[in-house]
Amino acid sequence: MLIKKAVDIPSSEITPKNVYLNRRKFLAGTIISGAAAVAGMSLRELAEPTNVLKDVSNYNNYYEFSTDKYEPAKLAKDFKTQPWSVTIDGQVKKKQVLDVDTVMKMATPEERIYRHRCVEGWSIVVPWVGFSLSELIKKAEPLPKATFVEFTTVLDPNHMPGQRTGVLDWPYVEGLRMDEAMHPLALLCFGMYGETLPNQDGAPLRIVVPWKYGFKSAKAIVRIHFTDKQPVNTWNKSAPNEYGFYSNVNPNVDHPRWSQAKERRLGEFFKRPTLMFNGYDQVASLYSGMDLKKNF
């Protein structure tokens, strides 16, 4: 994979791949890593023995496979991501159905090291691979009416056991305002750690919006729809008092059932304060004049 580096965060902050791949162990083992920190051991040294534990391979949110965080990695293992087409439609000049390989060649892929913050309070730093979503949007030539972009995940209940349950309204839908989608940080993503995206992380194609909570970053996308109406995103539909449309990482707005002020970085012992916009101050101007408590 051809990769041009675009460094936003020092690479020393990246969650080591084996720690990431063994999220389950590290979340369970934060006490041990705290003790190791006291003993002067580095996280990498500590992580080494877990390398062999291939069976505890991941920790994801991917409700199409399971509501359990440990199950998507194994349940998605044989999910077919080829052939895969992406429909571009709605208020756009170039309505088209593209093969995912064509989409991936629309611009030069880069590595982007992003902070990733989940509503449940964990965070990681991941080197994603992809290019700015704006590259695709520009090529699609949206009409002036298009003020929002809606992303739809594949509907495939035969191969996605979670879709055979009513836990969410399927297919999973997410959306961004056009200026958010055009921000260079919004990533159209098809890889991580220099490799093809693992199935449980949303192969073959997902969005990554680093200043928003994880659920805004839809996985396994089959449709990119341009519209003049604010999309009804799945989590907002499911629990409107808990999940809004904007969902910017905001330490000052509590989730109704828990505080959002702090987070635990995977592999670390002490919680760290959560930063406004997840630390991506460059997006603040997109929301100037908006009440971000009301538009949570």
DSSP three-state, residue 296? coil
Smallest separation (angstroms) from Mo ion to the CB of 17: 20
Give bridge partners of residue 116 from the DSSP assignment.
124
Q: How far apart are the first and last CA of the chain?
A: 37
Among Mo ion, ligand MTE, none, residue 66 binds (CB under 5-8 Å by kind)? none
Q: Do 132 and 8 form a contact (C-beta atoms < 8 A)?
A: no
Whose Cβ is closer to ligand MTE: residue 36's or residue 124's? 124
Which of the stretches 10-18, 101-109, 180-188, 210-218 binds ligand MTE when contact is defined by CB under 6 A?
Answer: 210-218
- Per the listing, tokens 């691979």 go with 129
Neighbours of 102 (CB within 10 A): 12
Which of the stretches 28-36, 212-220, 249-257, 262-270 binds ligand MTE when contact is defined by CB under 6 A?
Answer: 212-220
DSSP three-state, residue 224? strand
Closest CA to 141 of 88, 103, 84: 88
Whose Cβ is closer to ligand MTE: residue 163's or residue 227's? 163
Tell whether residue 90 is a contact of ligand MTE (CB under 6 A).
no
Smallest separation (angstroms) from ligand MTE to the CB of 288: 27
Tell whether residue 60 is a contact of ligand MTE (CB under 6 A).
yes
User: Binding residue for ligand MTE (CB under 6 A) from 50, 61, 236, 274?
Assistant: 61
Among positions 170-199, residues that touch ligand MTE (CB under 6 A) are 172
Where are any strands of DSSP class E within 73-194? 85-90, 96-99, 110-117, 122-132, 148-153, 173-177, 187-192
Smallest separation (angstroms) from ligand MTE to the CB of 4: 22
Whose Cβ is closer to ligand MTE: residue 50's or residue 233's? 233
Distance CA(114)–CA(125), nearest Å, equals: 6
Q: In this structure, what DSSP letter does residue 141 have?
A: -
Tokens of 195: 């490799």
Smallest separation (angstroms) from ligand MTE to the CB of 53: 19
Tell whether residue 278 is a contact of ligand MTE (CB under 6 A).
no
Handedness of CA 148, 233, 249, 75 (dihedral sign): negative
Tell whether residue 227 is a contact of ligand MTE (CB under 6 A).
no
Q: 72: phi > 0 → left, psi -120 to 50 → alpha, else beta; which?
A: alpha
Whose Cβ is closer to Mo ion: residue 59's or residue 287's? 59
Tell whether residue 214 is a contact of ligand MTE (CB under 6 A).
yes
Residues found near Mo ion in the complex (CB under 5 A): 61, 118-119, 214-215
Q: What angle do CA 127, 128, 129 make, to 5 degrees?
A: 125
Smallest separation (angstroms) from Mo ion to the CB of 117: 8
Smallest separation (angstroms) from ligand MTE to the CB of 196: 13
Smallest separation (angstroms) from ligand MTE to the CB of 125: 11
Distance CA(134)–CA(83), nearest Å, equals: 24
Name the residue with the smallest CB distance to ligand MTE: 214
* Residues making contact with ligand MTE (CB under 6 A): 60-64, 118, 153, 172, 201-202, 214-215, 217-220
